[in-house]
Amino acid sequence: MTLSQFLLSYSLLIIASIALLTYWITRRFVLKKVNRKIMKAEHNYQQQIADLQSRLSSKVHMLEGMVEKLQLSNQELNRLNEIRSKFMSVVAHDLRQPLSSIQGFTSVLMMDHHTQTNQAHATTNPDQVALNNILKATDNMNQLMADLMDISMIESGRLKVDAQPFSFNSLVDDVFTLQLVNAQKRGIFLYKHDYPKEITVVADRFRLSQVINNLISNAIKFTPQKGKIEIYFYAQNGNLTLKVTDNGAGIVHDEKEKIFQKFHQADNIRGLKKQGWGLGLSIAQEIILAHNGEIGVESAGLGQGSTFWFTIPQQIAVTTTAH
């Protein structure tokens, strides 16, 4: 072996020894330190996870408690709502009999006074005026009782729609004849646009007459003397539509969203006091919804008049229940 070969072999041996020593030192000290840091970080991470799980468990327990309280509150509200509905129904039912008695006795007294006094002075006679006011008050109370009973049935899901085929033209004629008297008393022009064809619908005639009467009555209430109310109806694409248009007080935009809510009464109509109890339009909406239809109102604003309308299918299921 030459000297150069010996020196090369010796150098390689020294390099290998240094490499082994470096590896041993790194493994012994550096890697051990890294492993300790890793283990410490893992321990901290596990602690954080455990802490988060504990917090989450606490929040879940709190949420479960809140859900339980909410369920109990809902049960109590449902119970109270059921009691309220029953109370409204019982009150409305029990008050109708005494009101009918008052109405009957008042009518008899009015007939007696009418025959005993001069007919020309009957309207100015104080007793006759008082009896007439009593009769009007009982009429209003009877209407309120009927509305309360309808609201009670609606809230308890007992409002039934008995759908039978009938002539819608005839129904509109009947309602128009009844409301024409009320409009004439107020000095309002009520006009019905006749539809050229006979429209047969399968629906609840009584309930639809209730809706139409309500829409026309509202128009009469909020239309000034010498005002005009027009009734339109037509059939198109299997649907029936009716509109009641007036040139009365009108409705502001914000009121359109609230006007079909129970007990809501517009308070921004100048010069007109609140009339009724705010139940008629709510009941009308439920009746139309029970017919799978839509109801709404259009108005350009105060003093611009209003158009109330509803649309229902010409034929619905024979018997449905409103929810």
The DSSP-derived string for 112-165 is HHHHHS-GGGTTT-HHHHHHHHHHHHHHHHHHHHHHHHHHHHHHTT--EEE-EE
All residues at 6 or more sequence positions from 284 whose CB lies less than 8 Å from its CB, including other chains: 210, 211, 214, 215, 260, 295, 310
Backbone angles phi, psi at 199, to 5 degrees: -110, 120
Which residue ranges make up each domain of the chain?
1-158, 160-321
Note the pLDDT of residue 246: 93
Each residue's pLDDT tens digit, 14-34: 887 777 777 677 666 666 777
Token digits for 181? Answer: 């008297």
Backbone angles phi, psi at 85, to 5 degrees: -65, -45
Each residue's pLDDT tens digit, 254-274: 777 788 887 666 654 544 545
Note the pLDDT of residue 184: 92
In the structure, what pLDDT confidence band is assigned to residue 114 with cuts at 50, 70 and 90? low
Note the pLDDT of residue 61: 85
Average pLDDT over residues 295-313: 90
Average pLDDT over residues 61-65: 86
To 10 degrees, what angle do helices 31-116 and 126-155 make? 150
Inform me whether the pLDDT recorded for 322 exceeds 50.
Answer: no
Nearest Cα neighbor of 255 from 245, 268, 243, 274 is 268
Token digits for 258? Answer: 């609230």
**pTM over the 0.85 mark:** no
Tokens 């008899």, located at residue: 108
Note the pLDDT of residue 209: 92
Note the pLDDT of residue 37: 79
Inform me whether the pLDDT recorded for 53 exceeds 80.
Answer: yes
Under CATH, what is the fold of the domain 160-321? Heat Shock Protein 90 (3.30.565)
Note the pLDDT of residue 318: 46
